[in-house]
């Protein structure tokens, strides 16, 4: 089985682009990735693509070219981008093809996401209680975690403050102005303890990554990173996830925990080996909880980590170096691929003002979505 390399990456900036559809943003990202790699659409042997609200990815062949390419649509909630990447990874690794692409894009309307109970196998009463509004679920989850592990509200604010600091250094970010922790804490309360600056926003944007076998990557001689592991897992018994109508007495691990364990085992590395990490930060509490669920610290240690700026650029483990979802927003189909795009930039030394010092070697990305799906990828500088 071949090793898998990422040899090209393209992005359409996140935020709002009124004059361009989501599909057009996806095609833009594909063209940018191809141009950077010196390839044409006709060179691509397969594609995986996904979107939640902006159309079927395979229809972008009308803009890119009718080459007969194998193109598979992917839909897996917030893990759509990570799942598209997993498809590309396994296709190359199997030896079936040696050059392909994964693309994710979205164009969400303004306002909170509006999921319907029936679409998630839930009765109408679950929506009538307000729990289909994910802001309430995430607030309840972090409230419980704060009580159990001593996390404080100022720490939530510091996570968002770091996100906006990093976003200000990032060309593709939506929110590009720093916001201080006091302003974040005193802003409008959305769902206690989370204020408006602690949440990401539904957004627009697109990312495309080009994947190649080791042989093809060497032939092309492009800046590349090796995809050492890619794992996607759904929720096990006893996990407490989005749209879970109950919390069991006997708790089980989250899908993030089991996806992270699988990825570390596959890559043959440990959490302490990682140089830069991109973690799902739908809101400030998610980044905090995911630090522990991915194995980077113990529950409760985040308070000290964040106070000591260990997750800042230049810290022990830089987290969400482009500002994450908090600064970039969350176009569902693109978010998981944006994380890997950021690691590609970091590991190839192309992250400019937000570049992590010391020639980072290993990058980690983690995406989490409803109703309890997590995708993890570990990449290495080639």
For 184-220, the pLDDT digits (tens) are: 999 999 999 999 999 999 899 999 999 999 999 999 9
For 10-19, 121-130, 332-341, which range has the lowest pLDDT when averaged over its residues?
121-130
Q: Are 245 and 128 in contact (CB under 8 A)?
A: no
- Kindly give the pairing relationship between strand 362-369 and strand 99-107: unpaired
Q: Measured between alpha carbons, how far is residue 356 from residues 39, 89, 105, 293 in Å?
A: 29, 26, 26, 23
What does the block give as tokens for 48? 């995986």
**CA nearest neighbour of 365 among 253, 232, 224, 241:** 232
Average pLDDT of the segment spanning 100-113: 89
| pLDDT higher than threshold 90 for residue 249 | no
Q: Of 172, 208, 210, 202, which Cα lies nearest the Cα of 26?
A: 208
Say yes or no to pLDDT of 114 above 80.
no
> How far apart (Å, rounded) are the C-alpha atoms in residues 57 and 32?
16
- Cα-trace Rg, the chain: 19
Burial class (CB in 10 A: 0-12, 13-18, 19+), 357: exposed
Q: What's the pLDDT band for 257 if we cut at 50, 70, 90?
A: very high
Percent pLDDT > 90 in the chain is 79
**Contacts (Cβ under 8 Å, ≥6 apart) of 186:** 195
* H-helix or E-strand spanning residue 307: helix 302-307
Enter the tokens of residue 63: 């803009």
Q: Given this model, what pLDDT does residue 241 score?
A: 85
Token pair recorded at residue 178: 């720093």
pLDDT tier for residue 242 given thresholds of 50, 70 and 90: confident
Mean pLDDT of the chain: 93
pLDDT at 9: 97
Q: Is the pLDDT of residue 307 over 80?
A: yes
What's the start-to-end Cα distance of the chain, in Å? 18
| Cis upstream peptide for 366 (omega within 30°) | no
**Neighbouring C-beta atoms of residue 178, cutoff 10 Å:** 16
| pLDDT-wise least confident of 22-26, 140-144, 367-371 | 367-371
Per residue in 352-361, pLDDT (tens digit) is: 999 999 999 9
What whole-number distance in Å separates Cα of residue 308 and Cα of residue 310? Answer: 6
**Measured between alpha carbons, how far is residue 116 from residues 109, 289, 310, 323, 372 in Å?**
16, 26, 39, 29, 16
Cβ contacts of residue 195 below 8 Å, gap of 6+?
Answer: 157, 184, 185, 186, 187, 188, 189
- Inform me whether the pLDDT recorded for 122 exceeds 80: yes
Token code pair at residue 133: 């509004």
């Amino acid at each position: 089985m071949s090793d898998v390399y990422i040899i090209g990456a393209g992005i359409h900036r996140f935020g709002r682009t009124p004059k361009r559809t989501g599909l057009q943003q996806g095609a833009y990202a594909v063209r940018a990735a191809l141009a950077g790699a010196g390839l044409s659409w006709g060179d691509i042997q397969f594609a995986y693509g996904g979107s939640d609200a902006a159309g079927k990815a395979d229809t972008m062949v009308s803009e890119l070219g009718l080459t007969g390419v194998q193109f598979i649509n992917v839909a897996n909630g917030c893990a759509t981008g990570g799942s598209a990447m997993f498809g590309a990874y396994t296709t190359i690794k199997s030896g079936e093809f040696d050059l392909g692409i994964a693309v994710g894009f979205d164009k969400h309307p303004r306002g909170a996401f509006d999921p319907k109970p029936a679409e998630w196998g839930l009765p109408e009463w679950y929506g009538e209680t307000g729990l289909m509004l994910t802001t309430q679920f995430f607030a309840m989850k972090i409230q419980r975690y704060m009580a159990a592990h001593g996390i404080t509200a100022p720490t939530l604010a510091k996570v968002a403050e770091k996100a906006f600091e990093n976003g200000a250094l990032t060309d593709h970010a939506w929110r590009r102005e720093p916001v201080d922790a006091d302003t974040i804490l005193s802003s409008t309360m959305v769902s206690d303890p989370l204020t408006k600056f602690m949440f990401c926003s539904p957004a627009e944007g697109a990312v495309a990554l080009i994947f190649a076998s080791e042989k093809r990557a060497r032939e092309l001689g492009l800046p590349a990173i090796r995809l050492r592991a890619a794992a996607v897992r759904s929720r096990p018994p006893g996990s407490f996830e989005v749209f879970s109508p109950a919390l069991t007495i006997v708790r089980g691990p989250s899908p993030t925990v089991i996806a992270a364990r699988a990825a570390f085992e596959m890559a043959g590395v440990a959490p302490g080996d990682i140089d830069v990490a991109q973690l799902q930060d739908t809101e400030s509490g998610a980044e905090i909880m995911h630090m522990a669920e991915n194995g980077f610290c113990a529950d409760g240690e985040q308070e000290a980590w964040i106070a000591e700026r260990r997750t800042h650029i230049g810290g022990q483990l830089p987290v969400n170096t482009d500002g994450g979802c908090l600064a970039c927003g969350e176009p569902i189909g693109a978010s998981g691929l944006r994380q890997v795009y950021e690691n590609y930039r970091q590991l190839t030394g192309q992250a400019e003002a937000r570049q992590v010092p010391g020639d980072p070697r290993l990058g980690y990305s983690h995406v989490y979505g409803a109703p309890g799906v997590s995708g993890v990828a570990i990449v290495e500088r080639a």
